[in-house]
Amino acid sequence: MSKELKNITDNIMDQIHEEKIKIRPKIYFITGSILTFIGLVSSVVISVFLVGLIRFSLRTHGPMGSYRLDQIFSSFPWWTPVLATVGLVVGIWLLRKYDFSFKVNFKVIIIGFILAVIVGGWIIDSVGLNDVLTRQGPMQGMMREYMHDNYIQSNGQGWGRNRGD
Amino acid sequence: MSETIKYTDEEIVEKVRSNDRDIYAVIIERYKNALLRYTTSLVHDEDMASHIVQDSLIKAYTNLNGFNTKKKFSSWIYRIAHNEAMNMLKKYQREVSIPDDIDFESDEDITKDFEKKETSLHVTECLRSIPVIYSAPLSLYYLEAMSYEEISDILRIPMGTVATRMSRAKKLMKHICQKN
């Protein structure tokens, strides 16, 4: 056995008594848990909305594939995928940092997250929740701006292009 | 100090959290040898392993409020030590590659034969020769007497993966140790 190990108890206890090492307060972990939760929920909400927006955009911009792709690239709110990615990365980093004993397979989390987002986005778009989002909720402003920029109007029965375009 | 023997790890953690800092020495005494044995089996260097043990026990102390006392402290502290050892290994890249001529699919029942013949010391020596993803569960099971569930908690892998790695590790051990 090494000499260091024999002294390890004294070394650590001395550091504790001299307050060189301290127990982190509970608030540190509570804050971490809250941030993790908020980060992951925000990431899911934004990403689901994003998938809905992509499907909507593909439907509303005519039959020409290249034209639709150009439209998406030119009018796409690029800050949202960046925010979603940052949210996911920060969320997983926080999970690792704040809970040492949390048994989790991060590959499964990421794959599950992506599937949940795609299915959620598809469902939101299919059931017409996008229309609700244009009238109320936190995405209202963004959706209206997107529709205004792309000359799209809501006719109460779903979204469509202005006839004048 | 003798009174503290009756306390479980989790009860001691509660006491340390309640400002009885001196009792943390009991935790250190309970785990330092076991953690040294385990981390040495991972990094194959006793001095490096004792640094890892010290760092792990300090890290555990500072994050004590993040530990859920409904879970097992032993799994938590081993998990921290395992992470510290892995970080150290990444720095030094001491892993060896798996020999190409090993047949993992063999149905040959070598487990009983292996368990009867090998001593703990010989196992420790052989463990040095196999990759850490296989040596870690084997060390925890045979040297630290952990259950598959505890190993699953510590390594953060499903129980099925623990069983698979154990099986492959035994075959690797047999292959490598029989050569020596």
Range of the domain at B43: 2-92
Same domain, B78 and B11: yes
Interface A:B, Cβ pairs < 8 A: 86
B 85-144 near A (Cβ less than 8 A): none
3-class DSSP assignment, residue A141: helix
Provide the terminal-to-terminal Cα distance of chain A, rounded to the nearest Å.
Answer: 82
In terms of domains, do B71 and B31 share one? yes
Pick out chain A residues at pLDDT < 70: 1-6, 55-77, 80-81, 83-84, 87-88, 91-92, 94-109, 129-165
How far is it, in rounded angstroms, from Cα A159 to Cα A75?
Answer: 17
The pLDDT score that the predictor gives to residue B27 is 93
If asked whether residues B63 and B16 sit together in one domain, one would say yes
Q: What is the pLDDT of residue B59?
A: 92
Rounded to two decimals, the ipTM of the complex is 0.71
B6 and B87 fall within a common domain: yes
pLDDT band at B60 (very low <50, low <70, confident <90, very high): very high
Record: contact A100-B65, CB cut-off 8 A: no
Residues 14-43 of chain B with CB under 8 A from chain A are 16-17, 21-22, 24-25, 28-29, 32-33, 36
Q: What is the pLDDT of residue B30?
A: 93
**What pTM does this model have?**
0.63
Could you tell me if residue B106 is inside a domain? no
- Please check whether residues B88 and B129 belong to one and the same domain: no
Q: What letter represents residue A62's amino acid? A: G
As for how many domains chain B has, the answer is 2
Nearest to B47 by CA among B88, B1, B104: B88
* B62-84: average pLDDT: 88
For chain B, what is the radius of gyration of the CA atoms?
18
- Residue B176 in this model has a pLDDT that exceeds 80: no
pLDDT at A158: 47
Q: How far is CA B49 from CA A24, A82, B45, B144, in A?
A: 25, 41, 6, 16
Does residue A140 or residue B49 have the better pLDDT? B49
**Which among B59, B92, B125 is the end of a domain?**
B92
The whole-angstrom distance between B108's CA and the closest CA on chain A is: 32
Return the CATH number at B12: 1.10.1740.10
Q: Is residue B116 part of a domain?
A: yes
Q: Using alpha carbons only, what angle is made at residue B154 by residues B26 and A95, rounded to the nearest 5 degrees?
A: 100
In a domain, B119, yes or no: yes
User: Please, which residues have CB within 8 angstroms of residue B84's CB and are 6 or more apart in sequence?
Assistant: B39, B52, B55, B56, B59
Measured in angstroms, the CA of A107 and the nearest CA of chain B are apart by: 11
- CB of A100 closer than 8 Å to CB of B63: yes
Cβ contact (<8 Å) for A23 and B64?
yes
Quick check: is B104 in a domain?
Answer: no
In this predicted structure, what is the pLDDT of residue A101? 42
Task: Band the pLDDT of B120: cuts 50, 70, 90.
Answer: low
- Note whether A21 contacts B: Cβ–Cβ < 8 A: yes
